[in-house]
Amino acid sequence: MLTPENPRIIALFDVDGTLSIPRGEITPSMMDFMKNLSSKITVGIVGGSDLVKQEEQLGAGIVNVFPWNFSQNGLVSYKDGKLLEIQTISTFLGEDNIKRIVNWTMKYLSNIDLPIKRGTFIEFRSGMFNISPIGRNCSRAERNDYEKFDLKHNIRTNMVQAMTEEFKDLGLTYSIGGQISFDVFPKGWDKTYCLKFIDDKDFDEIHFFGDKTFVGGNDYEIFTSDRTKGHTVVSPDDTMEQCTKLFL
């Protein structure tokens, strides 16, 4: 990794909807743009998915491409290709509470009538639960159709409200992101978690680019953080356009 021209400016980027289409692979032109950007300023990736999915979208060895890499909101963190920290929700909550959440979720989902259901309704990640009413095994066409259905009928929003009441004793946060799912994790384990590794003494400006910056979206907390300059994007092309105006 080369030292950028302005290393004291760092820009952190969401993945889905920001660097790639949701659950899609980054295009060669977008990756070329990001590599060029990293020669100008410090670049970091901060996604909600685990590192395996991040590599599927951004390429194998992505932790070695840019100086900072945060998967699962920073619960798995890398600096210059070296692992800094791994945090796990199972240790934090304990197995009894893990089973309590899983059992309640499966019962709730069994009572929802959707046009279709597929599989992998709960994905257990080291730092969070990812819950999908339709199931993560749906096709892209099914994913797109479900997103429209969800926006009309508030499936995820209603489920989050129910879980908030049911598990109010556990201190959890709920974040709707992407097209088909939402994340469940302890308070403070949103994307602002990654900022604990970014020392203000090392940077004059911390920028964040993401598409789910609305209240309840999984970019909202870091977007509105006092430590960042937040930028809402609507597509990878928009990301390129905004970064070009700001940094190139």
By the 8 A CB rule, do 45 and 37 touch? no
Catalytic residue among 14, 50, 183, 219: 14
Whether 14 is catalytic: yes
How, if at all, do strands 122-124 and 229-232 pair? unpaired
Radius of gyration of the chain (CA): 18
Whether 202 is catalytic: no
Q: How far is Cα 22 from Cα 64, in angstroms, rounded to an integer? A: 23
Which amino acids are annotated catalytic? 14, 16
